[in-house]
Amino acid sequence: MEHNASYGLLRDLFEEYSDWYVDLADEYGSLPRSISGVAENGEQFIYLLDDLELHHMIRNKFLRFVLDECNAVAYAYAGIEISGDSNLAQVEEVLNVVVADSHRYIIGVWQVIRRDDGTVADLRHMGNTQGDDPEKHSGSWLLCGSVSFQEAESAKFKALWNEVKPGVVFKDRHATD
């Protein structure tokens, strides 16, 4: 299945998702892991993943299932990672925002600054990268290549998706506010 969005959609989705995370940091002091998929017809879902308790390899395959199930041509994914070298005591927490389709990606990275109580105090933008080889970059490959699901696996993922759907936000990007 071809998953190709316009570059304009990727840019818009990147700006929206980045702005949303800056607002989450400012207003709530937290940065949940999340994914949002956008279909060609403008239907979009936003799914907060912090309560999804799956091994990361199974989680990634489940996310691909969800993107396929929703006919997504593009997606945004964001989450916190630890970056640096722990042997040199040079580690930092970073927020990665990834927007991609099957041909292109945009990745933004922000350093996470925390208060003494552990809440997020600030995000410092460290830069963006973009390119046309998403299968080679972490987090940007969810729509690349074909993925096959065994019947039992597909049934398990469908049941899980139906279970979590009530907590997922759905919207129409083409609807006027």
Express each pLDDT in 17-72 by its tens digit: 999 999 999 999 999 999 999 999 999 999 999 999 998 889 989 999 999 999 99
Question: Are 49 and 69 spatial neighbours (Cβ–Cβ below 8 Å)?
Answer: no
Query: Which tens digit of pLDDT belongs to each residue from 72-104?
Result: 999 999 999 887 776 777 778 999 999 999 889
Structure-token pair, residue 157: 């993922």
| CA-wise closest residue to 142 among 81, 57, 83 | 57
Q: Note the pLDDT of residue 142.
A: 74
Share above pLDDT 70 across residues of the chain, in percent, rounded to a whole number: 92
Distance CA 160, CA 66 (A): 10
Spatial distance between the Cα atoms of 127 and 117, rounded to a whole number of angstroms: 27
Question: Hey, is 4 helix, strand or coil?
Answer: coil
